[in-house]
């Protein structure tokens, strides 16, 4: 497919409920973005995991998935699985995070994710990032909640495999989960690749975006 290109990307924001969500949903895209845009600035917010081994994993993972980028990671201590009960804290945290950055693209969970923590953050993101294109990533899980995406980022076989290898190397606390394996990650990437005439791809649900035929 002939792609629509965003031009040079200088800054992105990454939003996640949990450590590992960003890399699972958009790891191949991050690898590609960082390499294609030297000096990329990345502002990342993860709502759960502060002070735990998962925060340590996430910091190292983002460094690996964003080679050469200037990564600013904030991890807060909202309880995993309980985010809807901490709505005000999540809203205030996201609002404060918003004031620290002016991204070209925002990556966030997608609105119809079955996990309540993901879904809450997806619903909060557009009210804070009102002037930004938001791409909702997908996360394969036990619930049958995969979206029907219409926005694809093709990945080479090399990058798709690199993503899988980095996920395993970066998140030792998660490798025992029954959904955390190469077949699951590559399988979904292959499905999304078929849908956009590529070997592999990551797919996104566009919250909202605009197109500019003049000023790019
Ligand atoms: Zn998650």
Number of domains in the chain: 1
Q: What is the pLDDT of residue 216?
A: 55
Q: 4 lies in a domain? A: no
Q: 174 lies in a domain? A: no
CATH of the domain at 135: 3.40.50.10320
Q: 167 lies in a domain? A: no
For ligand 1, the distance from its centroid to the CA atom of residue 3, given in whole angstroms, is 29
For ligand 1, the distance from its centroid to the CA atom of residue 191, given in whole angstroms, is 21
pTM attached to this predicted model: 0.97
Q: State how far the Cα of 192 lies from the Cα of 102, in Å rounded to an integer.
A: 29
For ligand 1, the distance from its centroid to the CA atom of residue 209, given in whole angstroms, is 24
Q: 168 lies in a domain? A: no
Q: 161 lies in a domain? A: no
Domain that holds residue 108: 11-149
Q: 198 lies in a domain? A: no
Query: What tokens appear for 216 in the block?
Result: 């790019």
Q: State how far the Cα of 51 lies from the Cα of 119, in Å rounded to an integer.
A: 24
For ligand 1, the distance from its centroid to the CA atom of residue 35, given in whole angstroms, is 26
Cβ of 160: how many Cβ atoms within 10 Å? Answer: 26
Q: Are 101 and 13 in contact (CB under 8 A)?
A: yes
Q: pLDDT tens for the chain, 216 residues: list them.
A: 899 988 899 999 999 999 999 999 999 999 999 999 999 999 999 999 999 999 999 999 999 999 999 999 999 999 999 999 999 999 999 999 999 999 999 999 999 999 999 999 999 999 999 999 999 999 999 999 999 999 999 999 999 999 999 999 999 999 999 999 999 999 999 999 999 999 999 999 999 899 988 875
């Amino acid at each position: 497919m002939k792609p629509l290109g965003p031009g040079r990307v200088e800054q992105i924001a990454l939003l996640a409920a949990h450590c590992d969500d960003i890399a699972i949903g958009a790891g191949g895209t991050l690898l590609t973005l960082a390499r294609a845009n030297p000096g990329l600035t990345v502002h990342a917010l993860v709502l759960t995991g502060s002070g735990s081994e998962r925060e340590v994993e996430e910091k190292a993972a983002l460094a690996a998935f964003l080679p050469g980028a200037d990564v600013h990671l904030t991890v807060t201590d909202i309880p995993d699985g309980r985010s809807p009960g901490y709505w005000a804290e999540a809203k205030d945290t996201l609002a404060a995070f918003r004031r620290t950055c002016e991204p070209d693209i925002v990556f966030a969970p997608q609105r119809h994710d079955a996990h309540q923590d993901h879904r809450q953050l997806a619903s909060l993101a557009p009210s804070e990032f009102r002037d930004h294109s938001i791409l909702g990533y997908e996360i394969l899980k036990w619930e049958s909640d995969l979206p029907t995406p219409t926005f694809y980022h093709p990945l080479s076989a090399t990058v798709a495999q690199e993503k899988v290898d980095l996920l395993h190397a970066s998140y030792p606390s998660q490798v025992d989960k029954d959904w955390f394996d190469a077949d699951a990650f590559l399988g979904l990437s292959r499905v999304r690749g078929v849908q956009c005439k590529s070997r592999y791809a990551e797919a996104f649900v566009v919250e909202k975006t605009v197109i500019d035929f003049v000023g790019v």
